Homo-oligomer: A and B are copies of this chain.
Amino acid sequence: MEDVESWPTGRLLSAAARMVERRFDRFLADLDLTHAGMITLHHLESGPLSQRELARLCRVTDQTMSRTIERLARTGHADRAEDTQDRRRTLVRISVKGTEALVAARAEEKRFEKDLGYDAIRPQLIALIRKQL
Contacts and interface: CB of A to CB of B under 8 A. Distances in A.
Given A20-B133, A59-B15, A124 B124 contact: yes
A23 B120 contact: no
Contacts of A21: 10, 13-14
What is the interface residue range for chain A against chain B? Answer: 35 or more
Contacts of A133: 19-20, 22-23, 116
A contact face: mostly helix, strand, loop, or mixed:
helix
B8 A113 contact: yes
A2 interface: yes
Contact of A119 (B9, B23, B129): B9
Interface string A1-43: 0101100111111111111111110000000000100010000
Given A12-B126, A118-B124, 14 more contacts: A5-B126, A8-B113, A9-B118, A9-B119, A9-B121, A10-B109, A12-B122, A12-B129, A13-B13, A14-B21, A14-B35, A17-B18, A116-B128, A121-B121
Interface of A: 2, 4-5, 8-24, 35, 39, 57, 59, 109, 112-113, 116, 118-122, 124-126, 128-133
